[in-house]
Amino acid sequence: MLYYSLMSQHELKRTLGRLNLVTLGIGAIIGAGIFVITGQAAAQYAGPAIVLSFVISGFACVLSGLCYAEFASLIPVAGSAYTYARATLGHFMAWIIGWDLILEYLFAAATVAVGWSGYMTSFLGDIGISVPASLASSPFVYDATGWHASHSLVNFPAMLIVGLLTLLLVLGIKESTRFNTVIVLIKVGVILVFIGFGAHYVHPSNWVPFIPANTGEFGHFGWSGVLRGAGVIFFAYIGFDAVSTASQEAKNPQADMPVGILGSLAVSTLLYILVAIVLTGMVHYSHLLVPDPIAVGVNSAGAGLAWLRPFIKIGALAGLSSVILVMLMGQSRIFYTMAKDGFLPPLFAKIHPRYQTPHITTMLTGGFCMIVAGILPIGILGELVSIGTLLAFAIVCIGVWVLRKTRPDLKRPFKTPFVPLVPILGAATALIQMAALPLDTWLRLFIWMAIGLGVYFGYGRKHNKKEPIL
């Protein structure tokens, strides 16, 4: 492995163990999917059948996760799907997926930051501190009739949390993962409390009809709504993808990366399904189109769960913080690897002499994310992340199949079972969910990719290195 031998002399420290990787994955997966998008997707697309949407997305993620696990153990280098595409599908496809991952990670961090802002504003209101609406929401609103001004200036809390976590990432990966582990324990504990106590306030009538009748438009309730809901919430599962971006900082990546990827995915999928069942049973789905649906669920129980309100919001704030942290970390590592390959200027590969972190890419990532989180509404952000994630997963699944054909001689510490069935099903389920996303989302993806092609032909094609990875 020529490329791996070159990259093994990297400047990133190998400090992450198996537990760090599992909590890293849970830290990224359990966040906006539970605390924000579950309620919104139920209200707009699937109703109580959002539970089925999570099952569909979870199944697709297991297929993709198995493919990621094989690659992560075979090519334990930072870069995730970008590196895997370069190993199997060539430089051009590597650039395409690398540019797509920018859409995935940056906009994921921004999406979650907007959700964090909603919970923080609500929490501060509970203790008597009022945050002006003009400083806590997007200056734009997007609905069926198009874009409108919201009379807000900027979403300042969303920008603030991104800035603080960017600073933490600059200071060191070990410090960041310790912080992540603590808040993962907090948020998982809060979620389990919500499931356990919330189950006593479920009204089965809220589940009827379980699959609301389609409105006559594809994707708005009915089975097409279940499918669209699966596509929209899919981005909530990208935590296991983020685990693979930390391969180059894992102590024993060949053995531990599959555990980190599949372990975090299994725990998170179970929690998603249980929360969706309880939440839609406590509150009618039509009332969940809010930035803080879990808080709405607790409030619906009245005095019986009043004691839980501050804990839910603290858990949500902790949970969303860890997701932002891991997304920002993942994006900076992808930039670092692309710069090492020559696709981006050398500036992106600089390592801080004291903290040994890619500080330039981390600060650039955080700065851009702050701008996006401050001005764009959460619905637009969530759909952009979903389509980017699904495209990445499809390419990784195809890549596993291609590499089995082209390099059957390679020693694979972890092997995806039932090849080519698992890769084919993984790619197919991702592509089907992409097809169910709104047309406007596809248009924005094409515009983003057109910009990326301009960067590739203007810089990346001329400067990228030709060393083979395998």
> Is 48 inside a domain boundary?
yes
Angle at 99 between CA 252 and CA 321, to 5 degrees: 60
Residue 89 lies in a domain: yes
Q: Is 188 inside any structural domain?
A: yes
pLDDT of residue 420: 93
Is 345 in contact with 87 (CB distance < 8 Å)?
Answer: no
Judged on CB neighbours under 10 Å (0-12, 13-18, 19+), 465 is exposed
Domain that holds residue 179: 22-463
Residue 157's nearest CA partner among 124, 191, 188, 193 is 124
Number of domains, the chain: 1
Q: State the pLDDT at residue 48.
A: 96
Looking at residue 42, its pLDDT comes to 93
CATH number for the domain harbouring residue 289: 1.20.1740.10
User: Phi and psi at residue 103, in whole multiples of 5°?
Assistant: -60, -40
8 Å CB contact between 285 and 47: yes
Looking at residue 156, its pLDDT comes to 94
For the segment 365-419, what is each residue's pLDDT rounded down to a tens digit?
A: 999 999 988 987 766 666 677 787 788 888 889 999 999 998 898 888 889 999 9
CA–CA dist 320, 157 (Å, integer): 13
Cβ proximity of 333 and 324 under 8 Å: no
Q: Model pTM greater than 0.85? A: no
Region 227-244 average pLDDT:
77
Assigned domain for 3 exists: no
**How distant is the alpha carbon of residue 273 from its chain centre?**
17
Give the CA dihedral 254, 259, 261, 263, nearest 10 degrees.
180
The string of pLDDT tens digits covering residues 169-227 is 888 766 777 887 888 888 889 999 999 999 999 999 999 999 999 998 888 899 999 98
Q: What does the pLDDT read at residue 235?
A: 65
Predicted confidence band of residue 67 (pLDDT cuts 50, 70, 90): very high
- 99 occurs within a structural domain: yes
Q: Please write the tens of the pLDDT for every residue from 15-57.
A: 777 888 888 888 878 876 787 778 888 999 999 999 999 988 8
What tokens does 215 get? 């409105």
Q: How far apart are CA 122 and CA 310, in angstroms?
A: 10
The verdict on whether omega for the bond into residue 420 sits within 30 degrees of 0, i.e. cis, is yes
Closest CA to 331 of 388, 252, 414: 388
Backbone angles phi, psi at 342, to 5 degrees: 90, 0
pLDDT-based confidence at residue 281 (cuts at 50, 70, 90): very high
Domain assignment of residue 442, yes or no? yes
pLDDT greater at residue 278 or residue 184: 278
With tokens 């990326």, the residue in question is 452
Confidence of residue 144 (pLDDT cuts 50, 70, 90): low
∠277-280-286 over CA atoms, to 5°?
Answer: 155
**Sign of the torsion angle spanned by Cα atoms 135, 287, 312, 211:** negative
Burial class (CB in 10 A: 0-12, 13-18, 19+), 372: buried
Q: Is residue 10 part of a domain?
A: no
